[in-house]
Structure 1
Amino acid sequence: MHFTHKAFWFFIGVIALVLGLIGVFLPLLPTTPFLIFASACFMRASPRIHAWLIKHPYLGPPIVEWQACKTIKASIKKKAFVMIVLSFLLSIIIAPVLWVKFLLLVLAITLLYWFSTIPSS
């Protein structure tokens, strides 16, 4: 199956948007990063869908803030931080193998460090 670049970015954007929408209702899935990623994909694939996304009254403001200021609202950042810690903690508890637990711990620390470097608004 042959995909063009636009079709590829559209497909990835749809997946990111769906994951972001699921994250609205499922607290373990972060909404804002998926929406930002979906927006970046749709900028390449469909300017019309990108415009709809950034103008959406609920989904648009975090995307616009990221694009304009490279910041995330402090309340969203706090919720995401808690969800990252809880989801990795649960994954570490459930993981059956010690090296997987260690890998998850290293990934969690790396992700939390990176996430803490993003400025808050």
Structure 2
Amino acid sequence: MAGRSGKAGFRVLAYISVGFAAVGVVLPLLPTTPFVLLAAFFASKGSPAFASWIEEHPSFGPAIRDWRRNRVIPLKAKVLACSMMMLSWGLLVVMGAAGAILAVSGIFMAGVASYLLTRPSY
């Protein structure tokens, strides 16, 4: 029974990750690629059919395959993700967000950018 609940948990996490990735497509605050990679990981543990769908998806599939084979992130994805994070943070500043929000979001975005920029590109 524990195996079933574990698979269901991974499946739920995969769907949540894909949901965040979809939101990240329209909201620059959320980077899409890390959530797609998370979804692929969780789906591989909980739903082989969903994992196949993600891996064969025309938009998401190539990034997943590149990551799994070579641990590389496309330069275009890095530039887009970092640009959107900078734009999002700039919008928060212009809109007068509280200092705590600016600090937390800035630290989070800087961490994501640092990770992305330290991975190999092609």
TM over 0.5: yes
Q: Which runs of 5+ in 2 are unaligned?
A: none
User: Which amino acid is the alignment partner of residue 35 of structure 2?
Assistant: F
Match of 2:41 in 1: 40
Match of 1:101 in 2: 102
Match of 2:116 in 1: 115
Q: Does 1:15 align with 2:16?
A: yes
Partner secondary structure for residue 14 of structure 2: helix
Match of 2:82 in 1: 81
Deviating more after overlay: 5-14 vs 102-111: 102-111
User: TM-score of the superposition, structure 1-length normalised?
Assistant: 0.82
- Distance in 2 between the 1:52 and 1:79 partners? 24
**Per-residue CA distance 1:6-51 (angstroms, 9 max, x = gap):** 1111111101112223333x15132221111100000110112111
Partner secondary structure for residue 15 of structure 2: helix
Q: Which runs of 5+ in 1 are unaligned?
A: none
User: Which amino acid is the alignment partner of residue 118 of structure 1?
Assistant: R
Percentage identity across paired residues of the two chains:
27
Provide the alpha-carbon RMSD of the alignment.
2.2
User: TM-score of the superposition, structure 2-length normalised?
Assistant: 0.81
